[in-house]
Amino acid sequence: MDIAVAVAQLLGGQPEEWSASGEECYEVLTDSPTVPIVVDGSDAITANLTIRDQGPQPNTSIVFRLADKYGLGVFRFQSASWKFAADAHYIGEKLANIRDESLCELSLEHVRFTGGNQVRASYRKPTIKVLKPWNDAHRLIPQ
């Protein structure tokens, strides 16, 4: 719980217990719209489909460190977003081109639209922007 509290202090939000066991038993729903992260190569992002009662559902995850607190350890972001799953291969290619740890931005973009019958809807779309090699960037970020 100490690490979850540290993340909440850094990024805003509240640490909460998550319905998982082992080391991944806490989550922090942060107030930050964008989080600078460090990703270690293309193997850090995975996307697959699972079959649920309502049909196939994507499960995409990325393992990372926080750029602003690299030493806190390794974290995981998971999403069932179809768009994030579709982008996973593209993100992996960008990470592979760097061939080392990469500085990235993890964001939850707010998307709004008006559908049929003028029904308004909105959702948060996860995005990852690969910026540059971590070796080039970390000297600029205080630890």
Give the per-residue pLDDT at 140: 55
Q: Which residues contact 87 (CB under 8 A, 6 or more apart)?
A: 127, 128
Helix (H, G, I), strand (E, B) or coil at 61: strand
**Is the pLDDT higher at 137 or at 27?**
27
Taking the C-alpha atoms of residue 142 and residue 124, their distance in angstroms, rounded to an integer, is: 30
DSSP 139: G
pLDDT single digits (tens) 31-55: 888 999 999 999 999 999 999 888 9
- What pLDDT was estimated at residue 98? 94
The CATH number for 33-140, chosen from 2.40.50, 3.40.630, 3.30.300, 1.10.287, is 2.40.50
Residue with tokens 């910026």: 131
Contact assessment for residue 67 and residue 39, using Cβ atoms and an 8 Å cutoff: no
Q: What is the pLDDT of residues 79-116, one digit of tens each?
A: 999 999 999 999 999 999 998 999 999 999 888 989 88
Answer whether residue 10 shows pLDDT above 60: yes
How sure is the predictor about 23, in pLDDT bands with cuts at 50, 70 and 90? Answer: low
Stated pTM of the model: 0.85
- Domain locations in the chain as residue ranges: 1-30, 33-140
